[in-house]
Chains A and B, each alone.
Chain A
């Protein structure tokens, strides 16, 4: 077990290092001078050169890479070219929106998917199963931005139950903040819930037919107890994988949803930074997201071992 964890940890560190190098290299190639962009059409060449010097753009790539990495390790992500504020502050502010949004969407998605998946699995082959699975098939096929558009049309413009977007800030109150995140979270959660429900169902279906289930039934447990005590635990592995993947997708893939609802989150920050050629922000945020994904994967790997004792012996 300990050896397993150690190898995974080593793997994590290597992945992070390689990822940082790849990200930096990728972003270095992007054409477009941030200084020229910021100063616009009428700026003169010497003004642009002065700004480039101020931003530190005239040092070598290798220097900048090491400066960036060493900064990140100490929590200093550098200073944004366009906003001239420390990036760690900007990220922290945006995390307060992206993280809750991802968590709420994940929670919603799980809350919907689990009962739906269990229901379909336990009634497999029946009409209920077909209908439920039919809905999930639809849910998987709907692009989340289109769904968001339709929801804004109905709930914000026509019914005025929710505002069309924006985020008033958590200072205005927990309830107001949550209300602003409702439509976005639902848009994100729906396709994810559909995927998760299907995975849940198929994972359960596989376990339901395993021998140990028959043993459980033979022991006298009724159907529901058998599912709860045995099937679910075993079905958890694929489900955990998917939840892990979904979290990272939600954090980053919410870019489009953040744009539709004009939420000042991480996704939109990156999008804007790309347009503004604020390369240092792009690098730092992408690195942060990749870090989150790698760490979540690591956590899921550890969780596997806890859930499935068979894996522990592999070391």
Chain B
């Protein structure tokens, strides 16, 4: 069945890169901080499975540590988005029609109106390029996504009977939001969270590509791509490894998200029969 396939392939790809990132904390094939100019731009071989870059660093090691960078930045950014966006959405839904709801809605629209990459570049240019600022820049744009999503779904849950029962039993909006609405949103949040995670990985790659993400010597896939550009006709393997890493991680996450959606929301499965 297709559902299982999405989930399985997605989990495998995502898991592969996550494990590579985790292993990198304990061990990488070569020390990437020891530059070895004499060994530079070697094509893949037994000693260097993905070859070496223009400074003689082992590309496999760089990709592993780069996985760490991408995943960490994306994870925290989405975390920020969820951590701020979900409460905002819950509050807006609990007080539908009020000034608070209106303000949160306008705030969302406003943030959505700003071209995210441009603002991210502005933020990192103002406060200096670093992984932390990249996280903040990406995180900010995740907040309205989760706020809007949470509000929309929360609104439909509020209409359900068991909520009425909770209200009658004396609980206030905040308690209801946390104890009853939120758990019912969890599957939606997992699905959207996975999708946002994959978008965050792409955003981090774009920011690093223009030099505004993690700084040297911390490797980052986007920056590896930027560094490889002038040498692409001399040594194409420099551009292939990080590029494919990005593609497969994002692909894995998207498949995983689709897989989750198929598992959690049988209503959508209808389309496949």
Contact = CB atoms under 8 A, between A and B. Distances in A.
Interface in A12-65: 14-15, 18-19, 22, 26-27, 29-31
B271 interface: yes
A122 to B, nearest CB: 12
A146 B113 contact: no
Contacts of A206: 271
A286 B120 CA distance: 12
B127 to A, nearest CB: 9
Contacts, number: 126
A205 B239 CA distance: 38
A145 B115 contact: no
Contact of A15 (B110, B121, B225, B229): B110
Give the residue among A11, A137, A202 with the most B Cβ atoms within 10 A. A137
Contacts of A209: 270-271
Size category of the binding interface on chain A: 35 or more
Interface string B242-273: 01001110110011000000000000001111
A302 interface: no
A14 B255 CA distance: 40
Contact of B250 (A18, A130, A140): A140
DSSP majority for the A interface?
helix
B251 A290 contact: no
Given A124-B271, A205-B271, A146 B115 contact: no
Given A15-B109, A140-B254, A255-B121, A146 B271 contact: no
A293 B113 contact: yes
8 contacts: A15-B109, A125-B272, A143-B206, A146-B243, A146-B246, A149-B239, A282-B122, A297-B113
Interface of B: 2, 106, 109-110, 112-119, 121-122, 125-126, 198, 202, 205-206, 209-210, 222, 225, 229, 232-233, 236, 239, 243, 246-248, 250-251, 254-255, 270-273
